[in-house]
Structure 1
């Protein structure tokens, strides 16, 4: 008897997909709430979050995982506001925010390593063609690198794209 195939992973960035930080500063997007997160010493960070995103993400056929500079802090500041449980996260360690001369995003290698050969979708606002090439060359399973406009955050069409990708994995 074969073991059931694990669900694909969904790697979630915060700033861009969940927090549309590039929206007009004086206009909070409709449906979003504002929090002030004191992630580092100094001035708190303004973050816009849509409380409906948590339920929508949990309804997707994925195992969710943070892939964000927030790392575990996303569990403290983001998850409760949008209704997510505590999630695992990619620990970027020494690669956090380190520019790569080959043009590959500093998150990409760590995400591929974390996935351990499982199919995944990565929702972010900073991927490039170089990242797609790296994932295609280095990762043995299907992967979706889904760009989200940081002015708009996650929208219905993004959830549709993630659902459609997961559906292709079951056929």
Structure 2
């Protein structure tokens, strides 16, 4: 079975909590429907992350797991050099946060997931991990002050061996 590498935007790719902007990241301003017309959404993205993620993913299917949904393909992906990717529908998640949607998408396949919010929903996280007992499942926590680093990419490669 082909493994899946799930990818969140805010935190892992956009280190929104960083002070100052981390080295290698470039400021982008996006105009998004529903966002202020006068004040576009400011994000920091590392243009090298696209290639690095594709390399780390190897044969795994790279999938957005973000409330950005398919908008990640039109804004974030091109800014970091990622092709169009499938997206898990995380826009209207219930008390299971993203866990239920990710579980449905992955099915029994091995998965690795880069996100910064796993610990905000401990009951949902623990239930997700319990349902995946016996299936390869690795949650790689990314600090929203640093974004994805070489350490995270090495963890992805190790877990996807």
Normalising by structure 2, we get a TM-score of 0.89
Offset of 1:132 from its aligned partner?
4.1
Secondary structure at 2:62 match in 1 = strand
Structure 1 stretches of at least 4 aligned residues deviating more than 6 Å after TM superposition? none
Q: Partner of 2:130 in structure 1?
A: 137
**CA distance in 2 between partners of 1:145 and 1:30 (Å):** 25
**CA distance in 2 between partners of 1:35 and 1:165 (Å):** 31
The question of 1:9 aligning with 2:7 is answered no
Aligned length: 153
User: Is the Cα contact below 8 Å between 2:8 and 2:115 reproduced in 1?
Assistant: yes
User: Is the Cα contact below 8 Å between 2:25 and 2:47 reproduced in 1?
Assistant: yes
CA-to-aligned-CA distance 1:55-74 (integer Å, 9 cap, x gap): 01111222100000111000
The question of 1:50 aligning with 2:56 is answered no
2:150 to 147, 156, 159: 156
Q: Partner of 1:109 in structure 2?
A: 100
Offset of 1:94 from its aligned partner?
2.9
Gaps of 5+ in 2: none
Secondary structure at 1:94 match in 2 = coil
Q: Partner of 1:38 in structure 2?
A: 31
Offset of 1:117 from its aligned partner?
1.2
RMSD: 1.5
Normalising by structure 1, we get a TM-score of 0.84
User: Is the Cα contact below 8 Å between 2:17 and 2:145 reproduced in 1?
Assistant: yes
**CA distance in 1 between partners of 2:140 and 2:75 (Å):** 24
Distance change >3 Å, CA 51–CA 161, structure 1 → 2: same
Gaps of 5+ in 1: none
